[in-house]
Amino acid sequence: MIHVENLSKYYGDFCAVDQISFDIERGEIVGLLGPNGAGKTTTLRMITGYFKPTSGSILIKDHSIKDEALQIKRLIGYLPESAPLYHNMLVYDYLQFIAGIRGLGQEKSRSRIRELVDLCSLDQIMHKTISQLSKGLKQRVGLAHAMMDDPEILVLDEPTSGLDPNQIVEIRDIIKEIGKEKTVVLSTHILSEAEATCNRLVIINKGKIVADDTTRALKQRANEEYTLHVSFNKADLAEVEREIALVNGIKNIRQIETGGMLHLKLTCFSDHDIRSEVYATIKRSDWELTEFYRETESLENIFRELTTEV
């Protein structure tokens, strides 16, 4: 669907995107991940035809961005960062303008706008000017704008920034729903979001791709070790440490200060699941167990590892 080869972009001498290549298939939800200034937005802007690449090529459904920019723009729905829309227009007028320019007929545009209003829950704000809207509401109008003619490819630049937690969940659901049949490329620097929505992640740092894999594979890579947390109400630190240390597969044990309670953090090798053994140890004693859980696996470790300099 999207084929990017040796793509570079220079701003003067500054290299924002450096020789990146990747392929995106139909039906994938791909997250472009990276710290601020990594080149995420620049890459998306080149894919959508807003910026001209300094070198390299982008093919979208066999259309080259150099010669057939117009066809490509018809295939892509794009939501730029922080949804810059015409602020003096009414939401309704704006959507109608977009429908017109996207080539929807009068009948079609009316029904499509109605669908989008339901999908993005805009019914309360249709007759407000865009400048009056809060950031989250604007973002939703922007999403409706991007999805106007049901594009085959949806490109979203930080789609959930500025939204409240409920809206974030809503938007994620919308994106996942669309991703079932369409291709979605989104950029974000929020790891949990990428993890929740995308089935593939491309991590960029300083304009270069440092990782490109399915979310699951990246997560596995991230977790050569995992962490168990146990806390006790009444227990003797020395005794607990001595007993638990007998369990095989623990790398180290650290005590975490929590007022009155004994909270231990066990770092374990991921090839052993030692939870049952630890529990058996606890059962044999008379310690009063208050908490026992495995820390959820996250991409944070690998992200930090790949995007910070050593």
Closest CB to other proteins among residues 83, 125: 83
Is the Cβ of residue 104 or residue 264 nearer to other proteins in the bound state?
Answer: 104
Least CB distance from residue 116 to other proteins, whole Å?
16
Least distance (Å) from other proteins to the CB of residue 74? 5
Chain-centroid distance of CA 188 in Å reads 5
CB 170 within 8 A of CB 118: no
User: 40 with 204: CB under 8 angstroms?
Assistant: yes
Residue with Cβ nearer other proteins (65 or 168): 65
Closest distance to other proteins from the beta carbon of 156 (Å): 12
Q: Which is nearer to other proteins, 69 or 119 (CB)?
A: 69
With b for 16 or more beta-carbon neighbours within 10 A and e for fewer, the 239-249 pattern comes to ebeebbeebee
286 SS3 class: coil
Return d(Cα 122, Cα 110) in angstroms, integer.
14
Q: How far is the CB of 104 from other proteins (least distance, A)?
A: 11
Please choose, from the candidates 253, 276, 251, the residue with its C-alpha nearest in 3D space to the C-alpha of residue 263.
253
> 39 and 56 in contact (C-beta within 8 Å)?
no
CA count, 13 A, side-chain hemisphere, 81? 12
Q: CB-based burial of residue 90 (10 Å sphere; 0-12 exposed, 13-18 middle, 19+ buried)?
A: middle
Residues engaged in binding other proteins (CB under 8 A): 45, 48-52, 70, 73-74, 76, 78, 80, 82, 84-89, 93, 97-98, 100-103, 145
Instruction: For other proteins, give the closer residue by CB, 59 or 69.
Output: 69
Query: Of the two residues 37 and 100, which places its CB atom closer to other proteins in the complex?
Result: 100
Q: Which of 41, 40, 47 is nearest to 5 (CA)?
A: 47
Q: How far apart are CA 240 and CA 281, in angstroms?
A: 9
145 vs 200, which CB is nearer to other proteins? Answer: 145
| Distance between CA atoms of residues 132 and 145, nearest Å | 17
